[in-house]
Amino acid sequence: MKFIKSFMQEEDGVTAIEYGLIAALIAVVIIASVDIVGDELVKVFTAIGTELGKATP
């Protein structure tokens, strides 16, 4: 019974879970940002390639 009470009062596990959730949230934001930027970069390079194709004799 004493072990269960001490386990419930410990906060080390809670802190680890919080850090894990923060890391997961940061990962989701990074993945979403890379996806958005990647799509825009494809559009830019496609436009550049098209214009260079027109300039070639």
Return the SS3 of 10: coil
**Alpha helices, H only, the chain:** 2-9, 12-55
* CA distance linking residue 17 with residue 38, whole number of Å: 31
pLDDT in tens, 17-41: 888 899 999 999 999 999 889 888 9
pTM: 0.53
> How much of the chain, in percent, has pLDDT values that exceed 90?
46
Residue bearing the bigger pLDDT, 27 or 57: 27
Domain total of the chain: 1
